[in-house]
Structure 1
């Protein structure tokens, strides 16, 4: 599953990077007034979503937690993830969005927790090795229950072998060639579209990070820094702070000589 991710750049930077990373060559309309960049994006947040409407490419905030347009009342909880195999079924909770309301959730990377033998869970940060943005396949809908607000869900799939040691599932990460086909609102759901929901074939980089990411109150660049890097910088600081042994000995000798004179 995917329950936490990083998207700390502002919407203009993201729109520019979508074009730089070859996800889109067209102009992108940005409508993200209520967006707050974060290193620790959590469910129910307003997140950056890239989609197409009336042939126009848009970057807009949507609430993370899917609420279908046909819902008659607000549910106690809203799904943040949808399994690929669920989406592929002919009739499911998300069916109303499959044909023309496909979208891409933008992230710089995401967090996943590996269960250790001790029972403890160790958080990892995962990002593309080439440094490009991550494009999670998603679906959106417009709810009449919440003043026509946009809500969305991230689709998950089986994790590739290289990642399965951490978790058996991960977001569907679309590559540069797949994004425009996925969000094309003129293309109804077909086997070709369905085949885009597959494990990421590019290279991923992942490493252990601080347990601090577990609390949504924490939000800083340190959350995406590897534990090893943090330990190394602390050790380096301590080494620089400690006076050199030779200098300490010399100072002691001078003190003794001064006192004897």
Structure 2
């Protein structure tokens, strides 16, 4: 599971790292305490008609809403998507085909509960402060209560894929997000590559060496926002 994360890199840093050609102008401010349904920055590749693919950095609501949903709020949580059977699930199989995203994060949080029921957050991050490119999906949700020409008619929404936790992280949580290695970024984002379970399984396998380099430490309870949240206790 990945229920809170840090996204504190500047637009310029993310644009350079992911070779973005069209960064949006309304991206969210850096945050060390991003929660589901908040706005996050995602990397997507898209092409209109017969035009060339464009790599974009866009703001998205962190909780994917399928385009066929009548409301933006879904019945079940959709900020994470299980990778194991993703191609068979109604909410995921459509976006998987051509709407795949990367969610760049500095790190994410998981909680451990002791015998007294006290929960302690653990911050899990890349080695040497490297940005993690988490595998995700995206969907454009139309608000039919608005006119189609209304600038708020379409909302970009996104989810983060998870897999069974690697041995090194199993003591913290039984799931972890899927951090893509750089050599797989292009294939994952390419909308001309038809996404299926085999592609997801390849991503999970390729993510294993990256996941095994992750580092972690306990941090204070998450209150407010700011870089102090990731300081070790």
TM-score normalised by structure 1 residue count: 0.77
Distance of aligned partners of 1:69 and 1:196 in 2 relative to their CA distance in 1, 3 Å threshold? same
2:218 maps to 1:208: yes
- The 5 A counterparts of 1:38-117 are 38-54=31-47, 55-75=53-73, 78-89=77-88, 91-117=89-115
Aligned to 1:181: 187
Aligned to 1:14: 14
Cα shift at 1:99 = 0.9
Aligned to 1:120: 118
Cα shift at 1:114 = 1.4
Distance of aligned partners of 1:86 and 1:190 in 2 relative to their CA distance in 1, 3 Å threshold? closer
Q: Write out the 4+ residue segments of structure 1 that deviate beyond 3 Å after TM superposition.
A: 73-78
Cα shift at 1:9 = 2.3
Cα distance in 2 between the residues matched to 1:52 and 1:59: 9
Cα distance in 1 between the residues matched to 2:228 and 2:101: 30
Distance of aligned partners of 1:196 and 1:40 in 2 relative to their CA distance in 1, 3 Å threshold? same
Cα distance in 1 between the residues matched to 2:27 and 2:15: 16
For residues 122-166 of structure 1, the C-alpha deviation after alignment (integer angstroms, 9 at most, x for no partner) is 101111113211111111011112611100111111110011010
Q: How many residues align?
A: 215
Partner of 1:93, secondary structure, is helix
Structure whose CA Rg is larger = 1
Partner of 1:188, secondary structure, is coil
Cα distance in 1 between the residues matched to 2:112 and 2:25: 33
Cα shift at 1:72 = 2.6
Contact 1:101 1:185 in 2 (8 A): yes
**Greater relative CO (CA pairs within 8 A, separation 6+):** 2
Distance of aligned partners of 1:156 and 1:27 in 2 relative to their CA distance in 1, 3 Å threshold? closer
Aligned to 1:168: 174
Cα distance in 1 between the residues matched to 2:230 and 2:46: 33
Unpaired runs of at least 5, structure 2: 48-52, 144-151
Aligned to 2:130: 132
Distance of aligned partners of 1:48 and 1:73 in 2 relative to their CA distance in 1, 3 Å threshold? closer
Contact 2:112 2:122 in 1 (8 A): yes
Contact 1:32 1:48 in 2 (8 A): no
For residues 65-121 of structure 1, the C-alpha deviation after alignment (integer angstroms, 9 at most, x for no partner) is 1111111334455511111123132x4321110111000111011111112232221
